[in-house]
Amino acid sequence: MAQPLAERMRPKNLDEYIGQQHLVGKGAVLRNMIETGRIHSIILWGPPGVGKTTLAKIIATSGNRAMYTLSAVSSGVKDVREVLEKAQHQTFFGSPSPILFIDEIHRFNKSQQDSLLAAVEQGIITLIGATTENPSFEVISPLLSRCEVYVLKPLEKEDLERLLDNTIHNDTELKKLNIKVEETTALFRQSGGDARKLLNILEIVINAETSDQVIINDEIVMQRLQKNLAMYDKNGEMHYDIISAFIKSIRGSDANAAVYWLARMLAGGEDLKFIARRLIISASEDIGLANPNAMLLAQACFNAVNTVGYPESRIMLSETVIYLANSPKSNSAYNAINTAMEFVEKTGDLPVPLHLRNAPTKLMKQLGYGKDYKYAHDFPGHFVNQEYLPDEIRGTTFYHPQENPSEAKAKETIDRLWNGKYK
């Protein structure tokens, strides 16, 4: 049986590798690491199909190192220990350590990740992990601190064009065919910057053709995809499209659509914790102060999913999704922190007013730290009008209450206490 097109076209060296020039371009950090042979443990973070596995293989082969591969989906602590034992037997004084590549490392639990720590620390293996999830949340701190994290991006249009041209003219099977590319808009749009998905779609279109000439245009691509694409790709290729539709349905207060997209993810085998985490984010970003209880329910849902597991957890997820969709919406907290962070970026480190500074030493008190600070609890209503911002930006407003019952009370309080200072 012939290999899939995506596997046949997998790059074997950096010269064949397409995209990620910020990492592998001339003078870039990973190219330098590969060319010098000074390879350290790394985490490759990025969406599916952007070259994480390929890059790991290139790193291993360039240094003539032994490479072991584990999938976090199917491997347990026992598998990890067996690999580490083999690696230890291959590690000799002065020789580079074997590479252990772990795909989807975010799916490893704490005990599995703990089992890697000593081996990484002692140099028994050089770890390369690949993840589609933010490693700050998914990789334990001790392991993360021993790795550099590199972010891979979806392929740009120019990368996809180069990949398409290279595949048609250089693949052992495709170069035998008469392929005419008339349009690429649908092909590139449906691939979503995913090289593997682009090649899979191309293969679907070509395999469906019965005539001597293969025509590729937008209409043909969409016709072939409608007949061949599955409801939900368990390998994650539709992962981002589905979660986007899910979150936007909650934001748009459409409980029916939100439950439908939830069902699509559950039927496709999506990680339950991934869904529950997105609900916490939605509760904060899209509902926020219009209904603070939404955050509490979302967090409770996350805890319940971790405790109960599938299939019963589908009910908790459904309950939370419906509640969030039907809640009043506000993104005022989201806007407030974004505005404040942009402001900090522009204004830099403005000095803290002296009266707000801590004064734990006699010298600090002599310098005026904490002088004239008014303790709010000593005043009627536990409020006193004093300045809490740096003098240069006094009166600057970051939080703007939105129109909902909860924030109407917040606006009334701000106006009453500050007498129109914050508008």
Using DSSP, how many helices (H) and how many strands (E) does the chain show? Answer: 20, 7
In Å, the largest CA–CA distance within the chain is 90
Q: Which residue has the higher pLDDT, 95 or 234?
A: 95
pLDDT band of residue 191 (cuts 50, 70, 90) is confident
With respect to CATH, is domain 348-418 assigned 1.20.120? no
CATH class of the domain defined by 250-326: mainly alpha
Residues 6+ positions from 234 with CB-CB distance below 8 Å = 268, 269
Nearest alpha-carbon partner for 214 in 170, 183, 164, 178:
178
Torsion angle of the four alpha carbons 376, 377, 381, 385, in this order, in degrees rounded to the nearest 10: -10
d(CA 55, CA 194): 15
pLDDT band of residue 91 (cuts 50, 70, 90) is low
Q: What is the DSSP letter of 104?
A: T
pLDDT band of residue 112 (cuts 50, 70, 90) is confident
Q: At residue 379, does pLDDT exceed 90?
A: yes
Average pLDDT, the chain: 88
Q: Which tokens is 415 given?
A: 């106006």
Apex 209 CA angle, 206 and 211, nearest 5: 125
Q: What's the pLDDT score for residue 227?
A: 59
d(CA 407, CA 108): 41
Residue 279: count of CB within 10 angstroms of its CB: 27
Please, are residues 303 and 362 in contact by the beta-carbon 8 Å criterion?
no
pTM for this one? 0.58
With respect to CATH, is domain 20-151 assigned 3.30.460.10? no
Nearest alpha-carbon partner for 132 in 148, 147, 118, 151:
151
With respect to CATH, is domain 157-228 assigned 1.10.8.60? yes
Query: Domain limits of the chain?
Result: 20-151, 157-228, 250-326, 348-418
Write down how long the chain is: 423
Question: Which residue bears the tokens 């990492």?
Answer: 23
Torsion angle of the four alpha carbons 301, 307, 312, 314, in this order, in degrees rounded to the nearest 10: 30
Question: Which residue bears the tokens 């803290």?
Answer: 352
The secondary element (H helix, E strand) that includes residue 13 is: none
Preceding amide of 311 cis, omega within 30: yes
Q: What's the pLDDT score for residue 364?
A: 85
Q: What's the pLDDT score for residue 207?
A: 86
Distance of CA 143 to the CA centre of its chain: 18
Q: What's the pLDDT score for residue 246?
A: 95
pLDDT band of residue 233 (cuts 50, 70, 90) is low
Nearest alpha-carbon partner for 409 in 298, 285, 291, 294:
291
pLDDT per residue as tens digits for the range 163-181: 999 999 999 889 888 999 9
pLDDT per residue as tens digits for the range 235-282: 454 677 788 899 999 999 999 999 999 998 888 778 888 899 999 999
Q: What's the pLDDT score for residue 93?
A: 58
pLDDT per residue as tens digits for the range 30-46: 999 988 888 899 999 98
Lowest mean per-residue pLDDT among 64-68, 82-86, 188-192, 228-232: 228-232
Q: What's the pLDDT score for residue 404?
A: 92
d(CA 179, CA 212): 9
- Per-residue pLDDT averaged across 51-77, rounded? 84
Q: At residue 230, does pLDDT exceed 60?
A: no
Region for 215 from its dihedrals, namely left if φ exceeds 0, alpha if ψ lies in -120 to 50, beta otherwise: beta
Residue 346: count of CB within 10 angstroms of its CB: 7
In percent, the amount of the chain with pLDDT more than 70 equals 96
